[in-house]
């Protein structure tokens, strides 16, 4: 018999994250978006629960719970506000290059100081293929620009490409931009003016694993956005009456609502499988790239259709579906976007297929 239950420990983690999001993120969603920041109380409680270092190397009861637990928490936080979810984590996806290249020592060195200062963050910037950074190396310094990161303040940037990771500090100018989505986290263009590289590691395998884990992180956030868009638009359709019955009971909308729910579940299953592979030590590059790709494509389906179900109301800030559409699109631009994830997934699949087919060719 196959058991699809998460288990008591993971269910408790998910419930704790949902309660936190309902109490401290959802009520102030629009205010946080306008302020481009969160209140100190939200940060303080987030750290007390242990969510700030959930996937870090063992830190008492809160540490080392793994990729699946982290994915569940990210979905719950993003269902309330994905920008807030990004702002709350001191390392976020920047954890993974530190963990894969430098191990526990690097995570503690560059992450520990961030835990004591509300709003302190490190941000991961993908500067490999498909990335939008325009940077030039000058020895141990970097110059150039990154057109957008979801932050107004960072204590260090982690630059990741196909072969190396670098920690950059100082010499950074942040020019605020309005930003379409993830506004609670901020939005800035970053100018590198001879920024200092304070740490650097090389290794293709480490870079590949770090990118894979970062993609799962982003896919988990997109799950929360999609879920909330599905739930809100479905409930609206059940409440709004036209021609004597709820509009959700009309066949065209009923089929669309069902398709949206199916799209969400397909994306969630791929993300959970990728997380399971990471937690069990299996290679997960293709699984994480596929999870990101599926989440990005399905959020492009669910977000606009959630707005469409509400009609003209969908574009008004009285309802949050316009926000869900913006947030999903913004998340799908991270880490090189959809095209880079698709190329990575196909490259991994082609490599696996080659390993399998080569012996058969020899037999002929």
pLDDT band at 145 (very low <50, low <70, confident <90, very high): very high
Task: Note the pLDDT of residue 61.
Answer: 43
Position 235 in a domain = yes
Position 314 in a domain = yes
Looking at residues 150-157, what average pLDDT do you find? 92
What's the CA gap between 269 and 261, in Å, rounded?
Answer: 12
Mean pLDDT across the chain, nearest whole number? 89
Q: Which residues pair with 245 in a beta bridge?
A: 242
Position 344 in a domain = yes
DSSP 329: H
Q: Which residues pair with 134 in a beta bridge?
A: 145
DSSP 283: -
Q: What is the CATH number of the domain that holds 345?
A: 1.20.140.10
Q: Which of 55-69, 155-169, 202-216 has the lowest mean pLDDT?
A: 55-69
What's the CA gap between 94 and 178, in Å, rounded?
Answer: 23
Q: Which of 29-43, 70-84, 195-209 has the lowest mean pLDDT?
A: 29-43
What's the CA gap between 298 and 260, in Å, rounded?
Answer: 8
Position 135 in a domain = no
DSSP 203: -
What's the CA gap between 157 and 94, in Å, rounded?
Answer: 8
Position 166 in a domain = no
What's the CA gap between 282 and 290, in Å, rounded?
Answer: 15
According to DSSP, the β-strands at 164-169 and 156-160 are antiparallel
Task: Note the pLDDT of residue 65.
Answer: 81
Looking at residues 205-229, what average pLDDT do you find? 96
What's the CA gap between 155 and 201, in Å, rounded?
Answer: 19
Task: Note the pLDDT of residue 362.
Answer: 37
pLDDT band at 39 (very low <50, low <70, confident <90, very high): confident
Give the domain range for residue 281: 206-356
pLDDT band at 60 (very low <50, low <70, confident <90, very high): very low
Position 48 in a domain = no
Looking at residues 163-169, what average pLDDT do you find? 95
Instruction: Tell me the pLDDT tens digit for each residue of 111-134.
Output: 989 988 888 899 999 999 888 889
What's the CA gap between 297 and 338, in Å, rounded?
Answer: 8
State yes or no: pLDDT of 45 exceeds 70: yes
Q: Which of 255-259, 340-344, 346-350 has the lowest mean pLDDT?
A: 346-350
CA-based end-to-end distance of the chain? 40
What's the CA gap between 276 and 265, in Å, rounded?
Answer: 16
Task: Note the pLDDT of residue 244.
Answer: 87
Backbone angles phi, psi at 65, to 5 degrees: -80, -15
Looking at residues 210-223, what average pLDDT do you find? 97
Kindly report the number of other CB atoms within 10 A of residue 105's CB atom. 10
Which residue carries 């807030």 as its tokens? Answer: 84
Instruction: Tell me the pLDDT tens digit for each residue of 290-337.
Output: 999 999 999 999 999 999 999 988 888 889 999 999 999 999 999 988
Residue 95 token pair: 């954890």
Helix, strand, coil shares of the chain as percentages rounded to 5? Answer: 60, 15, 25
User: Which of 34-43, 104-113, 261-270 reaches the highest mean pLDDT?
Assistant: 261-270
Half-sphere exposure of 326 (CA within 13 A, CB side): 18
pLDDT band at 2 (very low <50, low <70, confident <90, very high): low
Residue 246 token pair: 């709820």
Position 241 in a domain = yes
Looking at residues 84-110, what average pLDDT do you find? 94
Domain count, the chain: 1
pLDDT band at 3 (very low <50, low <70, confident <90, very high): low
Looking at residues 162-181, what average pLDDT do you find? 92
Position 82 in a domain = no
């Amino acid at each position: 018999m196959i058991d699809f239950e998460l288990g008591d420990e993971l269910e408790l983690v998910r419930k704790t994250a949902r309660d936190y999001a309902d109490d401290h993120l959802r009520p102030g969603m629009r205010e946080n978006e306008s302020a481009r920041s969160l209140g100190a109380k939200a940060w303080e409680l987030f750290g007390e629960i242990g969510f700030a270092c959930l996937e870090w190397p063992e830190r008492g009861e809160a540490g080392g719970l793994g990729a699946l637990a982290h994915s569940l928490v990210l979905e719950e936080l993003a269902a309330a506000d994905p920008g807030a979810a990004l702002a709350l984590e001191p390392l976020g996806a920047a954890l993974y290059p530190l963990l894969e290249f430098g191990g526990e020592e690097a995570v503690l060195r560059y992450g520990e100081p961030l835990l004591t200062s509300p709003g302190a963050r490190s941000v991961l910037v993908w500067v490999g293929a498909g990335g939008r950074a325009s940077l030039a190396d000058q020895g141990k310094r970097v110059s150039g620009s990154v057109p957008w990161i979801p932050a107004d303040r960072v204590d260090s940037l982690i630059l990741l490409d196909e072969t190396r990771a670098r920690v950059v500090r100082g010499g950074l100018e942040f020019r605020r931009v309005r930003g379409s989505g993830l506004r609670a986290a901020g939005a800035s263009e970053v100018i590198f003016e001879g920024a200092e590289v304070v740490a650097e590691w090389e290794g293709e395998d480490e870079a590949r694993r770090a990118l894979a884990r970062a993609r799962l992180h982003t896919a988990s956030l997109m799950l929360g956005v999609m879920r909330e868009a599905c739930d809100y638009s479905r409930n609206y359709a059940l409440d709004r009456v036209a021609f004597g019955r709820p509009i959700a009971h009309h066949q065209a909308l009923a089929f669309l609502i069902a398709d949206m729910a199916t799209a969400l579940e397909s994306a969630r299953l791929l993300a959970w499988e990728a997380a399971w592979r990471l937690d069990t030590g299996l290679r997960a590059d293709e699984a994480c790239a596929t999870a990101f790709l599926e989440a990005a494509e399905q959020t492009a389906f669910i977000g606009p259709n959630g707005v469409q179900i509400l009609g003209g109301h969908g574009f008004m800030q009285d309802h949050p579906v316009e926000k869900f559409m913006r947030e999903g699109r913004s998340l799908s631009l991270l880490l090189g976007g959809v095209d880079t994830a698709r190329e990575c997934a196909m490259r991994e699949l082609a490599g696996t297929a080659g390993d399998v087919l080569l012996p058969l060719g020899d037999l002929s």
